[in-house]
Amino acid sequence: MITEIGHLALILALVVAILQSSLPLYGAAQNRAALMQFARHAAIGQLGLVLLAFLATTYAFVVSDFSVMLVANNSHSAKPMLYKITGVWANHEGSLLLWILILAVFGAMVAGFGRNLPPTLRARVLAVQAMIAVGFIAFTLFSSNPFTRLWPPPIDGKGLNPLLQDPGLAFHPPFLYFGYVGFSITFSFAIAALIEGRVDPAWARWVRPWTLWAWCGLTFGIALGSWWAYYELGWGGFWFWDPVENASFMPWLAGTALLHSAIVVEKRDALKSWTILLAIVAFSLSLIGTFLVRSGVLTSVHAFATDPARGVFILVLLVIAIGGSFALYAVRAPTLKGGGLFQPISREGALVLNNLGLTVALATVFLGTMYPLFLDAMGSGKVSVGPPFFNSSFVPIMVPVLVAMAIGPQLAWKRGDLAGALGRLWAAFGAAAGIAMGGMLLTGGGDILAVLGLAVVGFVLMGVAIEWAERVRLFQAPLAESWRRARAIPRAAYGMSIAHSGIALVMLAIIATTVWRTEVIQVMRAGEQVNVAGYEFAFEGVRDLNGPNYQAQRGTFQVARNGRFVATLEAEKRFFPVENQATTEAAIHTTWFADLYAVVGDPDGSGGWTVRLYHNPMVPWIWIGAVVMVMGGLVSLTDRRHRVGAPATRRRRAIDHGMPQAAGD
């Protein structure tokens, strides 16, 4: 019964979305206030209906109602409750429902918080948002219905892919979708601006917080996914340039570029049509990411079950959404008036360099991801493009972007003074040179590229510190004066500094762990010892044990350093009989500056086990750095200038209080 209510709610949500995608557009064109106002009520109503549908599905999972086909196929009564709930979105149908729910949440947020948007812009944004909802709800109802019943119901479910029964991956999709869907808002704003034929600094100011939200969600989602891959896949790596990883990374690159170009639109009224294009591209890549993961076009460890019929449906959606918006862009973008001019050496110039670098990097990743598909479609055979391609093409492109990250904030808008900026950065150059020379001496000139990379990281970190010190006139003015200045710096500037430091930390960790990792793969018997980067790993053997829905073989290592106990590592191989799948549970002990990482492989038949032991220096800082980046984004979001004209809202509320009859709008 509850399942049928959910089904009905989703059908009603489709009807509401169809109305919301058409009436407000007409209203905005004809300047009819009632029709434009309808968009707000529809967006909030849609959230209620979609939430109902989502809760109905969650309920079916929680009570293990196996008469619902989705539950029977993806759940099992013996599964822990946490994974019954996360199982809702750990499959194709349910994850679409989650996607639609987040879309509705964002729509309702625009309706709720967008009070001070011009009514025509708000109506159009919500209408475009509803068009996306129509596409996705129709796709769900017609080709991937989560409410289909199964008769007779099976006695128990088929279970959930054991790889997905993990806290890291359980919460990876919601954040990723938060990012993907967040870009739908900027996309809707871009399309609405093209329809209106007007992009101004006010528009950019409205768009930026949404971009930031989406960017934070996506950054955190990608970090969670990479953390999961690190401890679950048992290869000791954190990023594999897998097509599905790239599918989430490409919108991130586009979104990061958008974040920066929107600043230029807001401050200088320039780069308008480029920013619009980036907004369209960021969301298009989110859609393409969805398409790649679900259509079976590319193979990957993360892919959902593949189904060509669904693939065709998504492809049609893609063509309508992306093709339609690019067509609109082609017609309308040339009419956008360019604004402020600027010299190449200026804050704008640095931001353009950032955009150029990110876009080229994006194109590289896109090409590397799609090349196997292109070749296969032409019938030229199967190839796979691996990490060597990405590492040798992506990394060099990012180096100038990083350097610009330190210099850019030192430059003035419009026309900058490069010599002056570089002069102020003398300490950063000193730090970089010091790291480079120290590194050369320590490594004996062995890892020149790594040392240079670390020098760039040092340059960036110092650059961030110098920029802040300059702003507060640290040591140039009395401390009280510096303190006053520090409190007066806008939050957005702090956000930038924090996020840039986060990037530098991530780079530092990636370089250190890639170059200085120690890896030992060998057969060990119980009682044997092996030395990994100064740590003694004593193997105590493997024993069998039973988990709630799996059987495991657990290998135990006692780790010591200079004879002093450090940690007990218990690595497992788990076999899930219901799903007929095995997983590796790596054992990880972190010292914050390095991870000790152990994986147990197969027995050799005579009492020995293949074991893989790693010492991964700095690796936790990849994720700490990512969290720092997200914090930067969040701090920036608290900037009062971002609370889209906060004073206006306050004034409005005061009026509402004064006249109760006006509060019911």
Partner 1 sequence: MRRLLYFLPLVLFAGIAVYFYLGLHRDPRAVPSALIDKPVPDFALAPLAGRANGRETAGLATADLRRGEVTLVNVFASWCAPCRIEHPQIKHLAEVLKVRVDAINYKDKPEAALDWLVRLGDPYGRIGADPDGRAAIEWGVYGVPETYVVDRQGVIRYRHVGPVMPHDVEQVILPLLRRLGR
Residue 161 near partner 1 by CB under 8 A: no
Residue 423 near partner 1 by CB under 8 A: no
Closest distance of CB 171 from partner 1, Å: 28
Q: Do residues 128 and 134 make contact, with C-beta atoms less than 8 angstroms apart?
A: no
Q: Which of 91, 290, 295, 354 binds partner 1 (CB under 8 A)?
A: 295
Q: Which of 152, 334, 444, 527 binds partner 1 (CB under 8 A)?
A: 334
Closest distance of CB 332 from partner 1, Å: 9
Residue 213 near partner 1 by CB under 8 A: no
Closest distance of CB 326 from partner 1, Å: 4
Closest distance of CB 453 from partner 1, Å: 33
Residue 57 near partner 1 by CB under 8 A: no
DSSP helix/strand/coil, 454: helix
Residue 281 near partner 1 by CB under 8 A: yes
Residue 580 near partner 1 by CB under 8 A: yes
Q: Which of 96, 108, 117, 297 binds partner 1 (CB under 8 A)?
A: 297
Residue 299 near partner 1 by CB under 8 A: yes
For residues 404 and 415, give the distance between their C-alpha atoms in angstroms, rounded to a whole number.
Answer: 16
Closest distance of CB 573 from partner 1, Å: 8
Q: Residue 379 or residue 534: which is nearer to partner 1 going by CB?
A: 379
Residue 662 near partner 1 by CB under 8 A: no
Q: Do residues 557 and 568 make contact, with C-beta atoms less than 8 angstroms apart?
A: yes
Closest distance of CB 603 from partner 1, Å: 5
Residue 315 near partner 1 by CB under 8 A: yes
Closest distance of CB 273 from partner 1, Å: 7
Residue 311 near partner 1 by CB under 8 A: yes
Helix 119-143 to helix 172-196 angle, to the nearest 10 degrees?
A: 130
Percentages of the chain per state (helix, strand, coil), in multiples of 5:
65, 10, 25
Q: Residue 339 or residue 608: which is nearer to partner 1 going by CB?
A: 608
Residue 120 near partner 1 by CB under 8 A: no
Closest distance of CB 547 from partner 1, Å: 16
> Tokens at residue 305, please?
């079950």
Q: Which of 13, 213, 27, 33 lies closest to 130 in space, CA to CA?
A: 13
Closest distance of CB 382 from partner 1, Å: 7
* Sites for partner 1 among residues 350-409 (CB under 8 A): 370, 372-374, 376-378, 382
> Beta strand pairing status for 609-617 and 518-524?
antiparallel
Residue 199 near partner 1 by CB under 8 A: no
Residue 280 near partner 1 by CB under 8 A: yes
What is the SS3 assignment for 271-337?
A: CHHHHHHHHHHHHHHHHHHHHHHHHCCCCCCCCCCCCHHHHHHHHHHHHHHHHHHHHHHHHHHHHCC
Q: For residue 445, which phi and psi values (nearest 5 degrees)?
A: 75, 15
Residue 547 near partner 1 by CB under 8 A: no
What's the farthest any 2 CA atoms get from each other in the chain? Answer: 85
Q: Which of 246, 171, 260, 170 lies closest to 215 in space, CA to CA?
A: 260
Q: Residue 73 or residue 284: which is nearer to partner 1 going by CB?
A: 284
Region from 476-484, 500-508, 592-600, 601-609 binding partner 1, contact rule CB under 8 A: 601-609
| Alpha carbon of residue 365 to chain centroid | 16
584, containing H or E segment: strand 581-585
> Tokens at residue 109, please?
């947020």
The DSSP bridge partners found for residue 331 are none
Give how many residues touch partner 1 by CB under 8 A: 45
Q: Which of 59, 171, 235, 326 binds partner 1 (CB under 8 A)?
A: 326
Residue 133 near partner 1 by CB under 8 A: no
What is the phi-psi region of residue 200: left when phi exceeds 0, alpha when psi lies from -120 to 50, beta otherwise?
beta
Residue 284 near partner 1 by CB under 8 A: yes
Closest distance of CB 161 from partner 1, Å: 15
Tell me the CA distances in angstroms from 389 to 123, 293, 341, 367, 556, one per residue in order: 45, 22, 38, 10, 37
DSSP helix/strand/coil, 569: strand
For residues 216 and 475, give the distance between their C-alpha atoms in angstroms, rounded to a whole number.
Answer: 34
For residues 71 and 54, give the distance between their C-alpha atoms in angstroms, rounded to a whole number.
Answer: 13
Q: Which of 4, 481, 519, 604 binds partner 1 (CB under 8 A)?
A: 604
Q: Which of 333, 509, 587, 588 binds partner 1 (CB under 8 A)?
A: 333
Contact residues for partner 1 (CB under 8 A)?
Answer: 273, 277, 280-281, 284, 291, 295-299, 306, 308, 311-312, 315, 318-319, 322-323, 326-327, 329-331, 333-334, 370, 372-374, 376-378, 382, 553, 573, 575, 580, 582, 602-606
